[in-house]
Structure 1
């Protein structure tokens, strides 16, 4: 039976990394590479005989592929909605209206738009997307994040971290909407705890509030380690070395880092925002600016409460493991190609 040829497109492979879109792309690449029914290509410029081109980004390289005559069916994973860029990229409020027009046009070229969350689907409908939209959440291979006391000890030793000190970790770009300022404020309130922020400003001067946030990173208190942008494998080591994840973001289309933290077997504390309602519900521990520090302290000192947080995280990891989404993705491909005799065996 003939394999289905999928050309997976993401400009993050050769441009800026250290963000959730690239992680989601890598996870999908790994998932598809294991499928015997799929012939996987990545960022192929002149490929012929492609059945499906699946886009994760919308830059110039992706645009050229989108307009090609040899792309087959077009699938776009919508990781970004207009609000994602306000508080992420410098000057977004100035050019956001023009960007909305482009994003609407780009997504409307698709045969299928994959929204990574119900919130994202709602935002796409508000944007005016007329293409078929379906929700397929981001997922990760949770086996890669397996953790236990021995692994945690080894990771701390490898990273030069205190083997006994409580560690709270955040993971993402340093940008206004991620509320790095809240992370620092809480760290100042809990000086006995080691705080680690995995990430930096991958877009450099193009990042929103670059100068201010760079200064905040340099002037972080003694109990805060900011790793800057690191390879994904090293980011995983930092999470496996940690006791609790704290993500004070005020806007997320999904929150892939939360699954990574949950898969490492630690409680996940977030800002109480509606963006998480449909994806995580009460499986994440919700708090607010006035209570972040006390919530973190309670979970680090109360063994029963901590165990409850770990159980919640195990449920998150089970819900968003790639084994739960791979069949859905292949079924979506098959539905697009159902009238084409070349799809036998998908």
Structure 2
């Protein structure tokens, strides 16, 4: 049996995709490979493989005990440039953070990226291609799934959303990088559409744009609802009552929220980014800017039948990034490390 020590503090900050990806991976490994892998969480005991999900300083120091760590794996959930628009850091602090992140990754024997585009970005930082492996994110269909019409009606009533309302949902941390400025402006410009943002300020005042966004959060227009950070069970219901899931981010890796929406059969719209073309091309609605987002939303509201093919595309994408397919990738990866 292969011993894998998982190192992560992702669950200490609620409402971030890193935590969701970590939870899904641990559940999947224990479900499918309990007979092959001994999974330990945040234990510094000797192991065959040490898998680092977050870049905490104590984890960095632990990599110098190479004999106890076995093969080291770094999960690349962000790159230096993704810090821009996420956290409010001055130039000196940002430079230090960027150098530290890269130094942490250089301590690893292997890096796992959730998007092939970011593998190419790592190569620009002089990481050798043979040190980088692409394994996509996934979500469990036991956690995210379509619910029936009666359940949707009941949840709309529970949350004070009109049964006939056209609902556009966004999710994630409220920060500049997520494109929330466009999401909020769309709400102001389209009072006949119900907008919902599921998520909050996971990093509090450190969030880039915190003062600006809290003003909207505390005094939103009538058609913009903020839920704050919610449990994953409730997230499933929000995806299901949405007519469209809109993620207007400027910079992402492989957002868990997109996979969660896919799994619920909810049509997905994103900003036109190269990284999406590399992983989910053909499964989503594409908009280059806020004006195009608005045009598409108005068209869908006026012609609801246009949503149907994208509901089917979402479910098809969910099947492609299924737990079973991705589980096999992880098994081959871990076993391959020790060959």
Query: Shorter-chain-normalised TM-score: which range?
Result: over 0.9
Is 1:79 equivalent to 2:96 in the alignment?
no
| Greater mean alpha carbon deviation, residues 226-235 or residues 191-200 | 226-235
Matched-pair contact (CA < 8 Å) for 1:6–1:38: yes
Per the TM alignment, residue 167 of structure 1 is displaced from its structure 2 partner at its CA by 1.6
Per the TM alignment, residue 142 of structure 1 is displaced from its structure 2 partner at its CA by 2.6
TM-score, normalised relative to structure 1: 0.91
Task: Identify the residue that residue 38 of structure 1 maps to in structure 2.
Answer: 37
Per the TM alignment, residue 63 of structure 1 is displaced from its structure 2 partner at its CA by 1.9
Matched-pair contact (CA < 8 Å) for 1:151–1:240: no
Task: Identify the residue that residue 341 of structure 1 maps to in structure 2.
Answer: none
Matched-pair contact (CA < 8 Å) for 1:18–1:229: yes
Task: Identify the residue that residue 182 of structure 2 maps to in structure 1.
Answer: 182
Q: CA RMSD in A?
A: 1.8
Give the distance between the partners of 1:264 and 1:299, measured in 2 at CA.
Answer: 19
Per the TM alignment, residue 25 of structure 1 is displaced from its structure 2 partner at its CA by 0.5
Task: Identify the residue that residue 261 of structure 2 maps to in structure 1.
Answer: 261
Matched-pair contact (CA < 8 Å) for 1:166–1:194: yes
Is 1:220 equivalent to 2:220 in the alignment?
yes
Structure 2: runs of 5+ lacking an equivalent: none
Matched-pair contact (CA < 8 Å) for 2:73–2:112: yes
Say which SS state the counterpart of residue 75 (structure 1) adopts: strand
Say which SS state the counterpart of residue 313 (structure 1) adopts: helix
Give the distance between the partners of 1:62 and 1:164, measured in 2 at CA.
Answer: 50
Per the TM alignment, residue 27 of structure 1 is displaced from its structure 2 partner at its CA by 0.7
Aligned length: 333
Task: Identify the residue that residue 281 of structure 1 maps to in structure 2.
Answer: 281
Note closer, same or farther for the CA distance 1:102–1:156 as it changes in structure 2 (3 Å cut): same
Task: Identify the residue that residue 65 of structure 1 maps to in structure 2.
Answer: 62
- 2:50 pairs, out of 40, 46, 53, with 53
Per the TM alignment, residue 93 of structure 1 is displaced from its structure 2 partner at its CA by 4.3
Deviations 1:112-142 (A, max 9, x none): 1001101111111112224710111111113
Matched-pair contact (CA < 8 Å) for 1:104–1:128: no
Deviations 1:143-176 (A, max 9, x none): 4211132342343344443333222110111101
1:87-106 alignment runs, 5 A limit? 87-91=85-89, 93-106=91-104
| Greater mean alpha carbon deviation, residues 206-215 or residues 292-301 | 292-301
Say which SS state the counterpart of residue 40 (structure 1) adopts: strand
| Greater mean alpha carbon deviation, residues 26-35 or residues 296-305 | 296-305
Matched-pair contact (CA < 8 Å) for 1:104–1:129: no
Note closer, same or farther for the CA distance 1:137–1:92 as it changes in structure 2 (3 Å cut): farther
1:159-198 alignment runs, 5 A limit? 159-198=159-198
Structure 1: runs of 5+ lacking an equivalent: 339-346
Deviations 1:66-92 (A, max 9, x none): 333422211111011011100001025
Note closer, same or farther for the CA distance 1:106–1:72 as it changes in structure 2 (3 Å cut): same
Give the distance between the partners of 2:298 and 2:77, measured in 1 at CA.
Answer: 33
Deviations 1:277-304 (A, max 9, x none): 1011131101121121221122233233
Matched-pair contact (CA < 8 Å) for 1:18–1:232: no
| Greater mean alpha carbon deviation, residues 23-32 or residues 230-239 | 230-239
Per the TM alignment, residue 100 of structure 1 is displaced from its structure 2 partner at its CA by 2.9
Give the distance between the partners of 2:196 and 2:91, measured in 1 at CA.
Answer: 30
Say which SS state the counterpart of residue 291 (structure 1) adopts: helix
Say which SS state the counterpart of residue 164 (structure 1) adopts: coil
Give the distance between the partners of 2:119 and 2:90, measured in 1 at CA.
Answer: 22
Matched-pair contact (CA < 8 Å) for 1:18–1:202: yes
Say which SS state the counterpart of residue 228 (structure 2) adopts: coil
Task: Identify the residue that residue 145 of structure 1 maps to in structure 2.
Answer: 144
